[in-house]
A = this chain, B = another copy of it.
């Protein structure tokens, strides 16, 4: 998505530890008009897949998931992060390892909100090593529901997450795919 690549080049900042800061439009301040363009694009890609639910993870996935959900006419469910391992019977649980923060946390979704008949589109802001995405997929699997695919705003294609998830046969559509990124040379995108 050319518009997104331009936005990343003009507003993105490369931080330490391979961090791409897109705080000005996606992760802290949210450019809602721009998110609508992203939502339309996801609908172009997945609009004919009979999606009946969008799943994301708090916090930075929620904005883009909600705006996107309007085009699909479906509800959003966001997985909640928790540091305690939940042993409650009423939630599906999965584990995420954060490479950024170098810690492990649990994510949970209430069993009320994921059912076997659900056709779920996962929406998230970033895909790097794929830990969060795989955890979301395992929540869907635990519910006996289907993962229609994953709509990602920014994929660090030089990391392994995209390959891992596509190798599982899951359709991953990333609106911007970064092939390399560093302070010296800046950001380049996959063709």
Q: Which A residues lie at the B interface, using CB under 8 A?
A: 23-25, 28-33, 35-36, 58-59, 62-63, 66-67, 69-70, 73-78, 80, 109-110, 112-113
> Are A75 and B32 in contact (CB-based, < 8 A)?
yes
Least CB distance, A1 to chain B, in whole angstroms: 19
Q: How far is the CA of A32 from the CA of B66 in the complex (A)?
A: 6
Chain A to chain B contacts (Cβ below 8 Å), 6 pairs: A28-B110, A29-B110, A29-B112, A33-B70, A66-B67, A67-B70
Chain B minimum-CB-distance residue to A74: B32
Chain B hits for A113, CB < 8 A? 23-24, 28-29
> Are A31 and B75 in contact (CB-based, < 8 A)?
yes
Chain B minimum-CB-distance residue to A36: B70
Q: How far is the CA of A32 from the CA of B56 in the complex (A)?
A: 14
> Are A35 and B110 in contact (CB-based, < 8 A)?
no
